[in-house]
Structure 1
Amino acid sequence: MRADRFLADAIGSLSRSRVKALMEAGHAFRDGATLTDPSETVRAGARYTLLVPPPVAATPQAQAIPLTILFEDRDLIVLDKPAGLVVHPAPGNPDGTLVNAVLAHAGDDLSGIGGEMRPGIVHRLDKDTSGVMVVAKSERAHRVLSDAFAARDLDRAYLALCWGLPEPLAGEVSAPIGRHPADRKRMAVVERGGKAATTRYAVKRAWGAAAALVECRLLTGRTHQIRVHMAHIGHPLVGDPVYLRRTPAAARLLPAAARDALLAFPRQALHAASLGFNHPVTGQALNFESPLPADMEGLLLLLDGNRA
């Protein structure tokens, strides 16, 4: 067995890539001698030592940003992300993100991931998508949760308000997703070069043929998957700034007040409503739900004929 895999398996709380990086940096020893080759075959009877340095401060800085915490322990945080909050710092959003907020909230409780005292982002929601997210606080939780998301070994449900009434009322969209051939900032259903993607949907409420509240579940995890698939079948999400390309014909079926509100909605009407998974350390089954945010709830009231 490779030395890095042997040490990762023996330790249990560090990923193999993390162990490999530590070995290459000179933190591993065989019988007291420095071992820098992660691929070296383990020797029977030898004594192996791995020194894990204390985590260094993360590059993103802690910022006091209010968070709605649904659950927290030493290994993870489950929170209700508001629309408008970017998850991770990027060139266009260097700060003011969820990562900055968690750094301020968790502080010294972060045990270090990849050698940095930072939260582990195992999945993301688009900036203007609201709802339930889980963030790892320890390296072990980060590794186990990342594997669970990659294997889809969890339960996630989204609520989306779309234009028109999907037919059938429940179904499955299986269409490969990749970069749009003419606009690299957008995703699209592409037959050549796209990655397999499957979304299951079920209509929960409908307002004639004008609009529908749809529950979506992901069998894969592609960028903008729900938004792309719903637009692909002719039912783009209300307010989607990228995949709603023109005023939908279904808008004519609504009273003026509801129509104007839906057309003016400033974000994609998409909400991560629930998330269920097994705790990465204890194995306990955890399930969390988030109610529709006020802006989406206001649209439903208008569609019902009530004042928002």
Structure 2
Amino acid sequence: MLLSPELQRLINLSAPLWAGEAEVVRTYWTSPVRTLDTDLLWIRRQCSKEFNGSGIGEYKNMGVFMGPLTELQEVFPKIDTGEKDSVSRHYVLELMDTMKDEYEHFCLFSDVYDQIKPNSVPTMNPHELATWDEDVKLTKLRHDNIADHGKLGVRASRFTEGGYCTLFREGMRAAEIGGNFDTANKLIAAACKEIYEDEFGHMLEGIAGLDREGWSAEELELMGKLVVDQLRHRIHMRNAEFSHPLTEERINAIFAGDIDPEPFDYIAAEAHLMAHAAE
């Protein structure tokens, strides 16, 4: 096993909450709360996250698109200058990749929206998208963690980013559900499959990469507390995004451990670490 005991502990803390977020999405597909209107609502909200949301690529709390764009403009004169404030060309490439990925995700979900909406509903306009209370709370928690704990807070947010790809994984599986929403399910599944294939490697780096960064046992213990708090907020965020398919009673039961953990792909994580070690 290449992953440290401390990282395995962090994964074990997270796995039941990853499973909880997955249950929200999985339950929604066949829930009585689901309508065309709720489909359009969650896709608008997801597009808001992909276009303006907080995340590992943000800069100065400017969001996952404008943040990297602004940072690119600021670091351009510093690329590989050899000076004290020099910026690696590879770091700049990562910024570009982050911006492209998030914008591509926005485009994929927007395309689904435009294909399933009624003719009377306008096409997706990113400048009219709005967040929702639970997502605001999650964003504030991340920003507070970063303000209070610096790099450790940033790393905790990176660890929780995407919730172990649960939305995209459960979205891919929607293709097989059938029923009244079969057309929408297949479009959603196709978009989620493309995003999942993009995101899985980034997600593994966000998790498994911790072992290359020299965190102490005490720092990882604190990170565990931040991660659990953020992942619990993610479940509330996702449940509200999907019009509350889970009851508060069920969410509290998940928080109490009444759920099977989401299996973690240790083989893929270790292969990812070995590939980076060989670079």
Same structural fold, with TM-score higher than 0.5 when normalized by the shorter chain: no
Kindly indicate which of the two structures has a greater share of residues assigned to strand. 1
Higher relative contact order (CA 8 A, sep 6+): 2
TM-score, normalisation: structure 2? 0.25
Kindly indicate which of the two structures has a greater share of residues assigned to helix. 2
TM-score, normalisation: structure 1? 0.24
Q: Whose radius of gyration is greater, 1 or 2?
A: 1
